Every structure is written in C-alpha cells, then in structure tokens.
Amino acid sequence: MKIEMDNTIIEFHVQYGIRKKISIHIDTAGIIMVKVPNETSEETIIRAVEHHGKWILEKTHQLAEARKAPKTREYQDQGKFLHLGKEYFLHELIETEELNEEELKKNLKKFYISSCKKIIGERISRYQDQLRVKPKTIEVVESKTKWGSCSSNKNLTFNYRLAMAPIEVIDYVIIHELCHLLHMNHDRSFWRRVGSIMPDYKEKEAYLARHGQSMTL
C-alpha cells in the first residue's frame, strides 16, 4: 500500500495478525512494515500511517542518508569483492594486470552486469513457469535505491549489484518482481503469493537490509 504526504510517496507493507493495536516498524533498509489486527480496514490503516507520517519521513530520510556513506574500496589485486554471497580477491573476478583503478572499476562493473544478466536469465524462467506469468521485458540496470522493479507495462528491471548476493536472495528479488505481475501493490494477496513460492522470504529481505551497504563498488 502507499500514500502521498508532503509530495513524497510512502510505500509500506501490511502484516495482519492476532494483535490488539497497530504498530509501525522501519528496518535498516527503510522498509516500512505496518502490523495490524486481523480484519482492520484499509481506511484505518491509512489513517494510522498518516498520523505517524512525519516520523516515518524523518526516519526513512535518516536511513537513506546513512546508506549514502561512502565505502572505501581497494581496487588492487588483493582487494576483496562479493560475488554470489562470497568474497573474492579482485584478480579472481577480473583480469587486473597493468590496469589502473579507473579501468579496474569499469571492468568490474561490466563483470557484475554480465553475471547478473546470466543469473537472472537462468533463474527467472523457473519461477515465471511456477507463477504462470510472463514479463514483457527484462533488463539489468544500475540503481542506488531499488533491487528490482515492475512497471505497469510488465517490464521488469533488476539491479546489477544483485550479482553480489547469494543465489537464494537473487531468487527472492526475482519472485518478488514476478509476483507484481499478478499484484501491483504489497497487499496480503501479494505477500501470500510470494510466500507460496518462498516461505522464508523475510530472511532474504533481512539479508538485503543487513548487507546492502556492502554490496557496492
């Protein structure tokens, strides 16, 4: 679900359960979870989010600024970088001889883009068959804020930095975006569909929240 406040879109997930009160949680990745009692109306949920809107905007802004903190990378033969959840020396991923830092960074980015395209291509067919959906286009892009996205035209995009994550985390992002072909928002039906394919999807979300800052160039 989402609302607009102060010219900013606040997008949030809703988790229904046996509880008495509505509570709002924001994790380190800026993902907003609104936990509500069963049978709570959408109108009531929106009012609760609007009531805490100022706090939500301040908190998400603080988290976004923290994620912008620059990371020092060693673009040399012994520098370490993630690929599929494991650390590798730079020379294990790309050719490093007689290349300066700018060339190394450029080639490493090309490596991740190529790797991500290959992995997405291999994995997505499995899950689109299970979900009985078919995206119009699939593209690997550079993004600072999103791991994946689905447009209303059924175009899927994936962040090339996903190649740094474990394969099961990549699978989660693929499943997440494919499920948006069935449900464009994050309502209960959407999360039930995600959970039907990957019951432990929350663990994968938590991985991205914990390690997303280190999955950079």
Dist. CA 15–CA 211, nearest whole Å: 24
pLDDT, tens only, 30-51: 789 999 999 999 999 999 999 9
Give the pLDDT score at 185: 86
Dist. CA 180–CA 120, nearest whole Å: 16
User: How distant is the alpha carbon of residue 94 from its chain centre?
Assistant: 26
pLDDT, tens only, 92-138: 999 988 888 899 999 999 999 999 999 999 999 999 999 999 999 99
Q: Is 151 helix (H, G, I), strand (E, B) or coil?
A: coil
pLDDT, tens only, 154-209: 999 999 999 999 999 999 999 999 999 999 888 889 999 999 999 999 889 888 88
What mean pLDDT value characterizes the chain?
90
Dist. CA 135–CA 156, nearest whole Å: 7
Average pLDDT over residues 8-24: 92
> Measured between alpha carbons, how far apart are the two ends of the chain, in Å?
32
